[in-house]
């Protein structure tokens, strides 16, 4: 099994760390899974294709109630991973427990093209528009935007930059792999400028941050994601048939996206030493690295975060 990770300073888009695969590097110019492999984001897509757009237009907020009840859209009948229903639930609970039906209903509250543009502006640049389909498929559809079954998928660095946009109060920074390059005499020959734009309102970013905090306090990341006294915000993600597993999130200081799976997609299934597949390897790695890089950092007042 393989894994990949990207660490970003969300205040400026600087990529502080990148892991392109497990084990030792096999050679120069080998596959970098963090920047070159396109994988299905699963539920990590929900803040960008469902809840974020609905927050942005004022159709929902974290305290709104939304239906977790059966729904059919055309010939598509989405299901929850637990194959049951909670009825009417607060949006923040729906995010925390990664419910699928509420995410679909949140997406239905906005125009599908608005949701597509919202996600793309946040950092998911590999989304395929209806005007440029690949083998007849594109991502301007509700199933892809709400639940993350994308035409191409997305890269780890894209998801890292998207979650960094939330962490940065709605401001998107193009990921930067260098700031400047000097020649042997110390003369600057290349300089990377900051490319920043507003992708969502600061209010939407704060509301998403509130929901992502619940993921780690009582939701799908509770008990597995903890960074001392520093608040951590994030989202679990899992694709159909358990072929891709993710944890993406941030503290007030850093944003990390981490993926695990096989290069040739296949169900991850049971792994020796771990009961079932939970917590995902990506969750364990996220937690380990985030604890290391936040060591010694002071917790920030909650009102500075959300």
Measure the CA dihedral 126/81/243/9, to 10°. 50
| Structure tokens that stand for 29 in this block | 């110019």
Q: How many Å apart are CA 40 and CA 287, to the nearest integer?
A: 21
CATH number of the domain residue 215 falls in: 3.40.710.10
| Structure tokens that stand for 238 in this block | 């899992």
9 exposed, middle or buried (CB, 10 Å; 0-12, 13-18, 19+)?
middle
Measure the CA dihedral 38/39/41/45, to 10°. 20
Which residue range forms the structural domain that includes residue 251?
2-304
pLDDT at 22: 84
Q: How many Å apart are CA 277 and CA 193, to the nearest integer?
A: 42
pLDDT at 275: 47
Are 157 and 34 spatial neighbours (Cβ–Cβ below 8 Å)?
yes
Instruction: Give pLDDT tens digits along the chain (306 positions).
Output: 999 999 999 999 999 999 999 877 676 667 899 999 999 999 999 999 999 999 999 999 999 999 999 999 999 999 999 999 999 999 999 999 999 999 999 999 999 999 999 999 999 999 999 999 999 999 999 999 999 999 999 999 999 999 999 999 999 999 999 888 898 888 888 887 778 999 999 999 999 999 999 999 999 999 999 999 999 999 999 998 899 999 999 999 999 999 999 999 999 975 544 445 688 999 999 999 999 999 999 887 666 666
The answer to whether the Cα torsion of 10, 147, 220, 21 is positive or negative is negative
Q: What is the pTM of this model?
A: 0.94
Q: How many Å apart are CA 151 and CA 144, to the nearest integer?
A: 8
Please give the tally of structural domains in the chain: 1
Which helix (H) or strand (E) segment is 104 a member of? helix 100-107
Which helix (H) or strand (E) segment is 187 a member of? none
Which helix (H) or strand (E) segment is 157 a member of? helix 156-167
- Report the first-to-last Cα separation within the chain, whole angstroms: 37
């Amino acid at each position: 099994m393989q894994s990949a990770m990207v660490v970003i300073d969300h205040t400026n888009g600087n990529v502080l760390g990148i892991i392109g695969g497990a084990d030792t590097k096999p050679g120069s110019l080998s596959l970098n899974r963090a920047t070159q492999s396109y994988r299905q984001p699963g539920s990590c897509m929900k803040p960008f294709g469902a809840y974020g757009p609905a927050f942005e237009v004022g159709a929902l907020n974290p305290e709104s109630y939304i239906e977790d009840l059966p729904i059919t859209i055309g010939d598509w009948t989405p299901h929850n991973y637990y194959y049951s229903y909670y009825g009417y639930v607060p949006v923040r609970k729906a995010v925390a427990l990664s419910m699928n039906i509420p995410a679909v209903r949140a997406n239905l509250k906005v125009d599908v093209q608005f949701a597509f543009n919202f996600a793309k502006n946040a950092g998911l640049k590999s989304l395929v528009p209806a005007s440029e389909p690949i083998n007849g498929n594109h991502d301007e559809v509700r199933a892809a935007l709400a639940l993350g079954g994308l035409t191409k998928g997305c890269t780890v660095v894209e998801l890292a930059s998207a979650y960094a946009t939330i962490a940065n109060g709605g401001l998107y920074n193009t990921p930067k792999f260098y700031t400047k390059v000097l020649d042997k005499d110390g003369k600057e020959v290349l300089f990377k400028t900051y490319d920043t734009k507003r992708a969502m309102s600061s209010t939407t970013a704060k509301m998403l941050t509130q929901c992502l905090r619940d993921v780690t306090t009582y939701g799908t990341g509770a008990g597995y994601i903890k960074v001392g006294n520093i608040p951590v915000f994030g989202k679990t993600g899992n694709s159909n048939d358990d072929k891709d597993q993710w944890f993406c999130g941030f503290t007030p200081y850093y944003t990390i996206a981490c993926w695990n799976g096989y290069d040739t997609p296949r169900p991850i299934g049971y792994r020796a030493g771990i009961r079932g597949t939970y917590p995902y390897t990506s969750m364990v790695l996220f937690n380990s690295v985030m604890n290391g890089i936040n060591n010694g950092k002071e917790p920030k007042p909650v009102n500075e975060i959300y």
